Amino acid sequence: MKEWLIVAAGSALVAIAGFFYVLHWGAEQYQAGVAYQVGLDTTDKLKQSEAYRAKEAQQAQALHDADQKYQQDLAHAKAESDAVIAGLRAGNLRLRKAWACLPSSSAPAASTSQPDAATDDRNASAGRIVRAADDADAQIRGLQAVLNAEREVK
């Protein structure tokens, strides 16, 4: 009977030792699997972050290019407005009949070299209209460039 008890106790000890060994081995395998998965997740997140940064840099460059073009268009609008005013004053450009006023009976003689104030005002107004139209065109082109840049990056 003692032999049976010794064999049963030994078998129980071997079973308990085996259970703890398997438990320990399983925990190590689980931890190794988690560490591997965390490494994959970190690598994937790093690659994803780099891709986002590249897209962000590309979009920033596209927006910078659009802004540069917009600034050039604004400068061109100012130059064109000034050219229209100068051309009207020099007589190189003429306004349409709808904009030109008919000379009144109290108008100065044609021999005077200075235009009247109304003519200067019409010339300046024409220049402001040209500039406003060019500014609006430049703004529309700039906004379209921004939208196109955002759509290309996505």
pLDDT digits (tens, 9 = 90+) for 16-61: 776 766 666 667 777 777 777 777 677 777 888 888 888 888 888 8
> For 8-25, what is each residue's pLDDT tens digit?
777 777 777 767 666 666
Mean pLDDT of 94-108: 61
pTM: 0.50
Sorted by where each begins, the domain ranges of the chain are: 2-96+115-153
Residue-wise pLDDT for 110-146, tens only, equals: 545 555 777 778 778 888 888 888 888 888 988 888 8
58 Cβ contact list (under 8 Å, min separation 6): 153
